[in-house]
Amino acid sequence: MKSIAIIYHSRQGHTQFIAQQIQLGAAQVEQLKIDLFTAEQLMSQPELLCHYDGLIWGSPTYLGGVSGTLKQLMDATGPLWKKQAFKGKLAAGFTVSSLPAGDKQSTLISLFTFAMQHGMIWVGNPILPEQHQGVPYTQAANRLGSWSGLMAQVEHASAANAFDFGDIKTAQLFGQNFALSLSAYQGVMIT
Ligand SMILES: Cc1cc2nc3c(=O)[nH]c(=O)nc-3n(C[C@H](O)[C@H](O)[C@H](O)COP(=O)(O)O)c2cc1C
């Protein structure tokens, strides 16, 4: 059975909520094991991730980049980079921030670069913004128009009430797309 790890940092719960929605979406695809990990859980044992076929990385956007805690975990994978232990795994990224733009793209680019350095294969977010088809903006999948990874925007409410339906739907579709991609993926020739 193929497996996905969703790895995230979340201080106030919003990024965690989106990670859970990604898990729900991925679970629509049968025959996959999907586990959630906080960055803190993996900090002293990032090698646990070697057991997974797909790795989805998530962080709140902090000052236009990944949070310090997630970066600490990324840096803790240095010894695994040396062995290229993640090479050929599928990867994707997501971020949550409070402003409509909020420099979320920089966070996704950090996650993308990290995945590329590890030799992973990046999966984006191939969803057409549904507001173009007349769906109300707050209800629309990929309303924020991000294809390189998943973006979600929060107001300051508690995590369960903070997100527009469109962002919840996007997270589930993003998870489902990643899971479908992983199911179809035959792997690359690794030397
Ligand atoms: C130190 C710090 C920096 C932040 N920087 C940004 C930012 O650059 N852009 C933005 O839109 N929101 C920013 N925010 C808001 C967070 O991205 C937002 O509250 C997010 O939901 C927090 O995720 P969490 O609930 O998973 O901890 C920042 C918050 C903190 C605490």
CATH number of the domain enclosing 115: 3.40.50.360
Specify the residue with its C-alpha closest to ligand 1, atom 1.
62
38 forms beta bridges with 8
The answer to the question of residue 189 being in a domain is no
CA 158/CA 46 separation, integer angstroms? 30
- Write the pLDDT tens digit of every residue in 103-129: 999 999 999 999 999 999 999 999 999
Residue 15 has pLDDT above 70, yes or no: yes
Predicted confidence at residue 155, as pLDDT, reads 80
Per-residue model confidence (pLDDT) at position 191:
56
Is 76 within the bounds of a domain?
A: yes
Specify if 15 maps to a domain.
yes
Query: Which pTM value belongs to this model?
Result: 0.97
- 71 has pLDDT over 90: yes
Evaluate: CB of 99 within 6 angstroms of ligand 1: yes
48: containing domain? 2-184
How far CA 18 is from CA of 81, 134, 135, in Å, comes to: 27, 25, 21
Stretch 126-140: mean pLDDT: 97
**Total of domains in the chain:** 1
Residue 159 Cα: closest atom of ligand 1? 25
Q: Which atom in ligand 1 lies closest to the alpha carbon of residue 8?
A: 26
